[in-house]
Amino acid sequence: MGSSKKKRSTFAKHKRERDVEEKRRLKRERKQAAAAERAAARDGDQAHPIVPSADGEYQADTIAPSADGEYQADTIVPSADGE
C-alpha cells in the first residue's frame, strides 16, 4: 500500500524536475536571443527576429541577405508620416 503512494510522489517529483529544466532551458534560449540582438545592434547589424515555432522552440527567421548584403523584409510597412 505504501508503495503506490511513494510511486505517485516519485512521478510527481520527476515531473516537477522536468518542468523546472524545461523552464530553465526556455529562459536560457530567450536570454541568448536577446544577447544576440544586443550584440547585433551594437555592431550595427540588423538582428534576425526570433519567433517561436509550432513546437515552442525559438528559432531565428530565415531571411537571406540581398545581393548588396542588406537584409530585406518581405513586406514594406509605410511610416507614420506617410512616406
Average pLDDT over residues 63-80: 56
pLDDT band at 7 (very low <50, low <70, confident <90, very high): confident
21 class by beta-carbon count within 10 Å (0-12 exposed, 13-18 middle, 19+ buried): exposed
- What domain range includes position 23? 2-60
Count of domains forming the chain: 1
Query: In terms of pTM, does the model score above 0.85?
Result: no
Structural domain includes residue 65 = no
Structural domain includes residue 21 = yes
Q: Are 63 and 71 in contact (CB under 8 A)?
A: yes
pLDDT band at 26 (very low <50, low <70, confident <90, very high): very high
Structural domain includes residue 25 = yes
pLDDT number for residue 72: 55
Structural domain includes residue 11 = yes
Structural domain includes residue 66 = no
Q: Which residues contact 29 (CB under 8 A, 6 or more apart)?
A: 57, 58
pLDDT band at 66 (very low <50, low <70, confident <90, very high): low
